[in-house]
Amino acid sequence: MVKKLTGEDKNAISAAVAEAERRTSAEIAVVVSPTSDAYQAYLLLYGFAAGSIVAALLWWTKALTPFPALLAIQGIFMALFAFAPFLKTPCLKLLPKRLLHYYASRRAALEFQSLSRHVPAGRPIVLIYVSLAERYAHIIHSRAIGLKIPAPAWDTIIAELTGLVKNAGLRQACVTAVGRVASVLSPHFPDAGEANALSDGVAEKN
């Protein structure tokens, strides 16, 4: 699922958002994040464990016994795991899915909070958040929307989005999700000619 959006992907999603917002007064935002957290503490822990195993093997086989050298090996492994990009993806696969989804949902909430600051009070807003490394997608909306549209409607859109990412790619999944969101919103929040408060572009954030 990990994939960066191309310029064409961003243009297609932006066009979908612009079209969707012509059908509803709500602001619709799409944020795609390669990963929702740096996970430095966990990477350092993996590095410490790997360094400890290597140091123990070297000491046990008498290949290397001075304590400062063994300590340095631990430090090297911790730095390697913390800063080597090629190790991050396999390390994340070892973390529990519940933990990954916790960090992704927290990042989604922060993104929604940030977007809300730029939207007039009372204006409906929907965020479609996709975190690639965590294989996580979530829709967050303002309270006014939640009072009129039940949670199962959003769950259906997310289920379709995640399925399309696997079968049709990230761009098509996001474009379809934006259209579905507009269809759900428009009966309750029809377009009233308000000016855009947010850019129609998709944000790709590290």
* CA dist 206 → 34, 35, 47, 180 (Å): 6, 6, 23, 26
* Residue 148 CB coordination number (10 Å): 12
Q: What 3-state DSSP class applies to 141?
A: strand
**Token pair of 118, please?**
């730029």
Residue 3's pLDDT is 62
pTM: 0.88
The position carrying tokens 């696969």 is 93
Q: Residue 34 CA to chain centroid, in angstroms?
A: 6
CA dist 104 and 110 (Å) reads 10
Q: What 3-state DSSP class applies to 66?
A: coil
Residue 206's pLDDT is 67
Residue 4's pLDDT is 74
Each domain of the chain, given as residue ranges in start order, spans 7-36+101-204, 40-94
Average pLDDT per 10 consecutive residues for the chain, totaling 206 residues: 76 94 94 93 94 93 90 93 86 93 96 91 93 94 94 96 92 96 95 81 71
Q: Which CATH architecture has domain 7-36+101-204?
A: Roll (3.10)
Residue 183's pLDDT is 96
Residue 1's pLDDT is 44
- Of 33, 39, 31, 43, which is closest to residue 2 (Cα–Cα)? 33
Residue 2's pLDDT is 46
